[in-house]
Amino acid sequence: MTNSKKFKKLIDQKILTDDILGACIYGCNKRAKNYRDKLREYPRYSRYRGNCYEKIDLYYRMKDEFLSIVKPVAVHWEYQLNYDEDWVVKYFLYYKVGSYSFHKPIEAKDVDPSLPEYKLENFHTTGEDYRDLVSVQFCRKVLDLIRSKDYTYLPTATAVEGGEALNE
């Protein structure tokens, strides 16, 4: 059984797992990065740039909504140059969702002192071919389930051939 079939069976049972959540967050994150990278291809005043910004915003909002049901495990930070060519510290919440990991930028004032802090080295991410990601349609279906609040979150559950969820 392919992952997409397993995922669909679990979603039909209103069960969310780390595999499902991670795949959706990963897909949204990589799509946003694809549009970010595409911006470099268009001239400064191209009409296509507006569409890229809209898609980036959409996918990062979806990512944030997925991340809202899990807790960050650490705070990462790094030095970055700002527009004035000054070095500033940028902070990120760090999440582990199954075999995936994610960063979410935050303001310094929002750093949770109870979380461990680690310095990032050479933090750079890229997009990925959309054909290798879960579909946007599937991500929307999962978001609808999260918004309904009518689901069970079983981080390690898997679907078996008979369609029942097993908690490993």
Neighbours of 44 (CB within 10 A): 6
Q: Report residue 22 as tokens.
A: 């991670």
Around 99, how many Cα atoms within 13 Å sit in the side-chain half-sphere? 3
Query: Which residue(s) pair with 91 in the sheet?
Result: 77, 106
Tens of pLDDT, residue by residue, the chain (168 residues): 356 788 999 999 999 999 999 999 999 999 999 998 888 887 777 778 888 999 999 999 999 999 999 999 999 999 988 778 889 999 999 999 999 999 999 999 999 999 999 998 877 676 777 888 999 999 999 999 999 999 999 988 665 545 555 555
Beta-sheet pairing, 15-16 with 152-153: parallel
Q: What is the pLDDT of residue 18?
A: 94
Query: Which residue(s) pair with 79 in the sheet?
Result: 89
Backbone angles phi, psi at 157, to 5 degrees: -70, 150
CA 109 from chain center: how many Å?
22
Q: What is the pLDDT of residue 167?
A: 56
Whole-prediction pTM value? 0.85
